[in-house]
Amino acid sequence: MYAQVPYEKFEEWAKTDHLWRQAQSAMFDSLLSDPRTRDTVIKINIQAALEKGDENTAIRLWNALSESAKAELMAKPEV
């Protein structure tokens, strides 16, 4: 079943629907359980934090990266 609703109504529904929250949690748990995928998600969020000028968040995210991902990023030349 598919229904198109205004985003505001969707937000209200998503906050209160238990199954929606459970599905979102399961999806993120699955996504972040793979170390490579986890590092990719963290890298994307580091970039977003830096673009917003949020250095504190970028540092916290950097600290959450695996050592291999840190080494890979440090080895890349700046573009």
pLDDT tens for the chain, 79 residues: list them: 677 888 888 888 888 888 988 988 998 888 888 999 999 999 999 999 999 999 999 999 999 999 999 999 899 877 6
pTM, two decimal places: 0.65
The torsion angle over the Cα atoms of residues 32, 33, 35 and 38, rounded to 10 degrees, is: 0
Closest CA to 49 of 30, 65, 28, 33: 65
Segment (H or E) for 7? helix 7-16
